[in-house]
Amino acid sequence: MSEEYNYREIFAKAVCGKGRKFTQDTHTVSPSNKPSSILGCWIINNEFKSKKHGDTVVVEGSYDINIWYSYSHNTKTEVKTENVKYREEIPLRYKDKDSVAEEVVAKAIQEPNALEATIAPSGQKIIVQAEREFLVEVIGETKMCVYVNPDGCEDDDDWDYEVDDEEFEDLDPNFLIGDLEE
């Protein structure tokens, strides 16, 4: 049999491109009262969608900034909530630019997080510093060349199913089924 017949071209789904982006933003929030001090700040309700656009993935989303602050010379408190929209263009690095039927998967590695909230020098607004990070993957059908063994696959008898000493060290000796004193 000729050596050229021992190879096959197959199509498989694979990660064909990846990208990652870390962002820090500054948001200015206008509370309804003049703040005296910041008591807390947190970000919740992060929602986003992703779409491939050329050699980038565009992630568009929004989150809520919640700021707990005091006013009237620290005699009253209030929570100000503001929805913030964002748009990230994440450049891709490709392993296979010729893949077809692409699908985009985006993950928030670092959910949006408030780093710091301070009262602006004017005293009327609150400045919030936030961070977030995304990882995106482009999954597509790609062609691979694989070697085909003319003798078929190895027997299952060749697999080594024995337990080695390191696996015994990981066992918890106190974990027993039943009560030994009975």
Q: Place 101 in a pLDDT band, splitting at 50, 70 and 90.
A: low
Place of tokens 């009327």: 124
Q: What is the dihedral of CA 7, 10, 14, 16, to 10 degrees?
A: 80
Q: Tell me which DSSP letter residue 163 carries.
A: P
Q: Say which residues have a Cβ less than 8 Å from residue 102's Cβ, sequence separation at least 6.
A: 16, 52, 138, 139, 140
How many structural domains does the chain have?
1
Structural domain includes residue 152: no
Structural domain includes residue 140: yes
Structural domain includes residue 120: yes
Task: Look at residue 97 in the predicted model and tell me its pLDDT.
Answer: 72
Structural domain includes residue 153: no
Q: Say which residues have a Cβ less than 8 Å from residue 175's Cβ, sequence separation at least 6.
A: none
Q: Is the pLDDT of residue 31 over 80?
A: yes
Task: Give the count of beta carbons closer than 10 Å to the beta carbon of residue 52.
Answer: 16
Structural domain includes residue 17: yes
- Domain boundaries, position 97: 8-145
> Quick one: 50 exposed, middle or buried, by C-beta within 10 A (0-12, 13-18, 19+)?
buried
pLDDT in tens, 12-21: 898 989 999 9
pLDDT in tens, 37-95: 999 999 999 999 999 998 899 999 999 999 999 999 999 999 999 999 999 999 999 87
Q: What is the token pair recorded at 118?
A: 């301070």
Structural domain includes residue 31: yes
What is the H or E stretch that residue 175 is in?
A: none
What's the residue count for the chain?
182
Structural domain includes residue 178: no
Contact 80, 69 (CB under 8 A): yes
Structural domain includes residue 168: no
